[in-house]
Homo-oligomer: A and B are copies of this chain.
Amino acid sequence: MCGLGGRRSPFVATPGNLVSSGMDPIPVFDAEAVFAAVPAEMAIERTRLAFERHARGEWVMPPKVYVEAPPEGDFRAMPARGDGFALLKWVTSFPHNPERGRPVVIGALLLSSAQTGELLAIMECGSVTSLRTGAAAAVSAQLLARDDARTVGVIGCGVNGRWAARCLAAAGYGPGICADVRPEAAVELADELGWRSGPREEAADQDVVVTVTPGERPVVLTSDLREGQHIAALGADAKGKGEVELDALGRCRLFCDEWEQASRGGELSGAVAAGRLSRQDVTDVGDVILGRKPGRLSAGDVTLFDSTGLAIQDLAIAIAVYEAWSRGEVEGPEVRL
């Protein structure tokens, strides 16, 4: 995954990095550079690898740390280490920012060499977040949806919903129904992918259903479920958020990105707090990827993947961006720190 050709490598002691003192200029990548460096297919592949390496214990990640910033939301510090790199993502979740013309997710991502400690790159983090969030939906569908699953329902067509749809399309899923409380957002996404916009109920009736809403109220109801579906719930990423009705969860075969994080804040955490779910009811997708645990057991299962968003996923995307830069495929202004 991480063979670094090209400009420089944190793995090999060259005269250049022996004398660098952390003072070499480092590249800064804006969202445009991140998206140019990592197409959807690569984001999916790297995200799957992140889940796998984490499940093997090769990539490590302490729990993310929240800094409350009332009344707007919170900041999150998300560190991870793997494949010779260390990463820190510093990111807001300010849900009402769009009302003031600003994104919900703002911040930066710092990529360092875990061997030398040197800072290697600074990246815009909304783009990395969108890629790894959207890619996780596609990874979960490839892993858990029925082999004959094709159609997609996207509930919530904001920035991360759009990337989930793009990644699912890149993985061969579609056509899809795009639903959003802002009809113009649904239409725009549908037009981009050659899909169709429609009501929430119709989106919830597709083979693969992705929810990417603020998680303030359920958007997948018990009455929506049909046999054989796969649901990727991406929106709930903190305590008190949820996109799927509690009773509906009880009818699903449940998967998550990481139990530790998902049980504390995410789609499943409400049911965990209510004593309706415990560890043995939920499988980490990394364990399914490794073949340690089963995924879908029958064609009739409704599988549900709770994505809370892991720093190891950000790490996977950040490494891919850095490698693309090392190969000379993308550029960014360089600064000296």
Contact = CB atoms under 8 A, between A and B. Distances in A.
A307 B107 CA distance: 30
Contact of A65 (B79, B92, B122, B123): B79
Nearest to A100: B18
Given A107-B112, A335-B333, A75 B65 contact: no
A107 B92 contact: no
Interface residues of A, number: 52
Interface stretch (A80-88, A178-186, A236-244): A80-88
Nearest to A116: B102
A267 interface: no
Contact of A22 (B63, B75, B103): B103
A21 interface: yes
A110 B78 CA distance: 13
Nearest to A65: B62
A114 interface: yes
Contacts of A247: none
B66 A90 contact: no
Nearest to A86: B75
Contacts of A337: 28, 30-31, 108, 122-124
Contacts of A30: 336-337
Interface of A: 18-22, 28, 30-31, 60, 62-63, 65-69, 72-73, 75, 77, 79-81, 86, 88, 90, 92, 94, 97, 100-103, 106-108, 110, 112, 114-119, 122-124, 126, 333, 335-337
Given A67-B86, A69-B115, A108-B122, 5 more contacts: A20-B101, A69-B81, A75-B86, A90-B110, A92-B117
12 contacts: A60-B68, A62-B65, A75-B86, A75-B88, A90-B110, A90-B112, A94-B116, A102-B118, A106-B112, A108-B110, A108-B122, A123-B337
